[in-house]
Amino acid sequence: MRICMILEGCYPYVTGGVSSWMHQYIQAMPEHEFVLWVIASFEKDKGKFKYQLPENVTEVHEVFLDSALRLRANKRKVRRFSAEEMTALRELIDCGKPDWDLLFHMYNEEKVNPLSILMSEEFLNILQVICLERYPYIAFADMFHTIRSMLLPLLFLMGQEVPEADVYHSVATGYGGLLASLGAYRWKKPFILTEHGIYTREREEEIIRAKWVGPSFKQQWIQFFYMLSSLAYDRAVRVTSLFENAEKTQIDIGCDARKCCVISNGVHYDRFKDIPPKKEDGWIDIGAIVRMAPIKDIKTMISAFFELKSRVSNVRLHILGGVDDEEYAEECMEMIRQLKIPDIILPGVVNVITYMEKFDFTILTSISEGQPLSVIESFSAGRPCVTTDVGCCRELLFGSAEDTLGRAGYCCPPMSREALADAMERMCVNQAERIRMGQVAKERARRYYRHGDMMKKYRKVYEEM
């Protein structure tokens, strides 16, 4: 089978998280041929892969969103839009329910230049109506540039060459879901959607906090991403999630429950199960296997550790992983310098299996997650965890309804320095409980979160397609 994986902002450009999952996923299916259709922000990153691609990856189609900024209008050829086309475009501009088949035909098969609408009198007329109805006290120029910045990458993506495949598999809604829907339309093949986190809700949280979106346009941007999730949920023939609450959220947003199924993440348990307990050396060592990114909330982790050091002197924090956001990483380093926090170790990207021997337990302070692989890997090595109460973390720590093994760590509210410090302190001072929770964690990973079991379920989905 020739499978086209559609990926946005992750594999093969960054490490960890979904990227690690994707790399292991492809390696575990040598019987299938994979085509990668990948979306990244900047063309300067072309070909700069962080992974040696498996042999069964036969093609990589890279799409860079900043390329849309270099589009030029054909001033000699003016595109006249039919009434049906204008209706579809109005719905798109209004973040409603556009006729996607008509838009795909226009921008992919007819190769209509995106600027033919964005520089047209018709576009200005539509915006004037919307501005008077919704934004009567906002400068028209602000609204114009907001709507244009939404539509330009969208129309640009619709015009991309579509790789031919037997099935299109996206790991998010958003732009990835758009391309997967386009592939399914273009070649009349099935589209599978796998969500590691609920993309729409993550974008909503990001937009609410974002400084680059003016308060007047936050709802417009949120509605834009809900429109894209609606497209993906409507066009996908199977929609998978990592845990039951995520599936419920998909259904609440508008996905047909009959399409939904839960396939939990799995790790290579056998690679971690024989890692020995940390040797006693007078220190308590905490591991954070995490990328330097705002969504991982490294600043609260640092702040909580600063509080912990005032209570427990013989504790060290190891923050492993790469850097997603250079500016944020520098802010974290500056925070460590200003607070003069001792015993924070930053080795960067390392072999997690080897480094895990140094840890007594691990910590995750994210403000949004799906079902974090780092927690399951920690469990497989018999290390309990302190996590924030996001995504599937509570279920991982306490077990699902049929899982009566017991507690495998502590769960805290996101961005709560005090609660995280309290949980880490309890883990530090009670060695017997820490060891017991580590044993529970290891058994939970063995029973419920093995990579082979996960792959069997995905193979079954492909066979059904």
Position 175 in a domain: yes
The total domain count for the chain is 3
Tens-place pLDDT, residues 274-314: 999 999 999 999 999 998 989 899 999 999 999 999 999 99
Tens-place pLDDT, residues 195-241: 998 999 989 988 998 888 989 999 999 999 999 999 999 999 999 99
Q: Are residues 297 and 420 in the same domain?
A: yes
pLDDT at 210: 86
Tens-place pLDDT, residues 106-151: 999 999 999 988 988 889 989 998 889 888 898 999 999 999 999 9
Position 458 in a domain: no
Amino acid at residue number 61: H
Position 465 in a domain: no
* Strands lying side by side in the sheet with 2-8: 57-64, 33-40, 2-8, 167-170, 191-194, 238-241, 260-262
pLDDT at 246: 94
Q: Are residues 54 and 100 in the same domain?
A: no
Q: What 3-state DSSP class applies to 33?
A: strand
Tens-place pLDDT, residues 35-62: 999 999 999 999 999 999 999 999 999 9
Tens-place pLDDT, residues 89-103: 999 999 999 999 999
Average pLDDT over residues 324-331: 91
pLDDT at 76: 66
* Strands lying side by side in the sheet with 361-364: 344-348, 315-320, 284-289, 361-364, 385-388, 409-412
The answer, yes or no, to whether residue 15 has pLDDT greater than 90, is no
Position 462 in a domain: no
In whole angstroms, how far apart are CA 462 and each of 167, 457, 458? 8, 9, 6
Instruction: Tell me the two tokens of residue 416.
Output: 């709560």
Q: Are residues 444 and 327 in the same domain?
A: yes
The boundaries of the domain holding residue 22 are 2-70+161-262
Average pLDDT over residues 381-397: 96
Position 156 in a domain: no
Q: How far apart are CA 411 and CA 384, in angstroms?
A: 11
Tens-place pLDDT, residues 136-195: 898 999 999 999 999 999 999 999 999 999 999 999 999 999 999 999 999 999 999 999
The answer, yes or no, to whether residue 272 has pLDDT greater than 70, is yes
Q: How far apart are CA 173 and CA 229, in angstroms?
A: 5
Q: With contact defined as beta carbons under 8 Å apart, do 107 and 158 qualify? A: yes
Read off the CATH number of the domain in which 371 is found.
Answer: 3.40.50.2000
